[in-house]
Amino acid sequence: MKVQILTRELVKPLIPTPPNLRNYKISFTDELAPIINVPSILYYQANQNFKATSMSDILKTSVEKALPEFYPFAGRYEKNSRFIDCSDQGVEFVTAQADSQLSEILGLGKKLNVKLIDQLLPCDVQAADEITDPLLYIQVTMFDCGGLALTMCFAHRIGDASTISAFMAGMVAVSRGLSIEAFQPSFDVASFYPQKGLPQWRLNWTDKNVTKRFVFDSEAIQTLRNKARPRDDIGKSKPSRVQLVNAVILQALVSIDSAKYGHSRTTYFMQTMNLREKANPPVPMESFGNLFGLATVNLEAGEAKDKGYGDYVAMLSDSVKEAVEDYKYMLLHQEDDHRKVIDPFLEANEKVTDPEVNLFMHTSWSRFPYYDADFGWGTPIWASAASLPLKNVCILLDTKDRKGIEAWVYLEETDVPLFEQHPDILALTT
């Protein structure tokens, strides 16, 4: 498959940003965000009432109309001063033509080809945080069949998955002639969490990695639920689909690490959490910016030897409950409460360089409304991540029926065969 770039332009807000909103201060949770452009892709089948080119025009117009409410996306990041210059320089909007059918990307009847998906990205995922870097890239790729792929790459410095989901929902609303009022963001995060001059969260960058996608369908999720539940636990709250899949992945990673090194190293497992609904009082769900924290599991060397799958589920669930308690009062503007958000990131930065620590990071895009994004020609047939030059990272998304989980796993090349042959991965995924 070849993808030809047709146009590349900067799309600006339909209504200019007022001068009093020119400087947007980032929060300390924004300071902690890693330097990366985060890609997500929606795939739409052909619709007989729309040509792919007209669909592209609708998407461009929806960006123009939604940007006035999400104006920082059209600005540029001043990393020395740590604020967004909301100068309306624009979102980079790319249109492209693929000389193939959408089914080739979807991998119907064969394995998914991630290298094809990477051709749908409008930017280098590591090209972020410089004054010339747009904070949002959008690419619309049209296929010979009449379908298209909508790629959105946003700078993590300015927001998280909730932020880009809200922007996407605003685009959908204006494309359907609806009011964007319900999706208007709040820009109060910096007042809750003022800047502290913190270092960004360091990720495990590598060029020697492989991206793999594993699908846990509804039957696999039920199998895991039954496996996780001891007899004396009936009646208690059920672990989520995300926790069930995380436990499989964590158990497999611990097994791989022991096989590689001949001994069990310390394992540090991080789960990102949306803090909007965890605070007391709650932070508005429409809050613009990075509002995520870490729930961590720290297994000392040798500690995992006698643990079964149910133990991993319990550890992950307990870590989230403990983190929720820690974050509950974080809006009280007390330094001790802020440290509960900050310290796990600083600890992770220390462990990422420790050769005796097996560090793994998970983030979940489950429950975000990707499959509700109907711009007038139907909802997506699929929503995906893309390749990232990272190792020991996992992104979880809903399957189309919202009953299963897709795990996008980023591993060192040498770890892939061991991961794929783990009994639970082999038995429960497609």
For tokens 């992104």, the residue is 395
Taking the CB of residue 139, how many other CB atoms lie within 10 A of it? 25
Catalytic residue (one of 99, 343, 354, 374) = 374
Are the C-beta atoms of 309 and 328 separated by less than 8 Å?
Answer: no
Q: Which tokens is 389 given?
A: 């030059």
Q: In sequence order, what are the beta bridge partners of 11?
A: 91
Using the Cα atoms of residue 336, residue 340, residue 341 and residue 343 in order, give the sign of their dihedral. positive
Q: Which tokens is 128 given?
A: 């972020």
Q: Tell me the C-alpha distance between 327 and 324, whole Å.
A: 5
Pairing of strands 76-78, 209-216: unpaired
Are the C-beta atoms of 290 and 32 separated by less than 8 Å?
Answer: yes
Are the C-beta atoms of 172 and 375 separated by less than 8 Å?
Answer: yes
Determine whether 260 is exposed, middle or buried from the number of CB atoms within 10 Å of its CB (0-12, 13-18, 19+): middle
Are the C-beta atoms of 112 and 30 separated by less than 8 Å?
Answer: no
Catalytic residue (one of 129, 156, 160, 338) = 156
Terminal Cα distance for the chain, rounded: 24
One-letter amino acid for residue 421 of the chain: Q
338 tagged catalytic: no
Q: Tell me the C-alpha distance between 324 and 294, whole Å.
A: 10
Q: Tell me the C-alpha distance between 389 and 335, whole Å.
A: 35
For tokens 């409950």, the residue is 321
Q: Tell me the C-alpha distance between 129 and 33, whole Å.
A: 11
Q: Tell me the C-alpha distance between 88 and 349, whole Å.
A: 34
Would you please indicate which residues are annotated as catalytic (active-site) residues? 156, 374
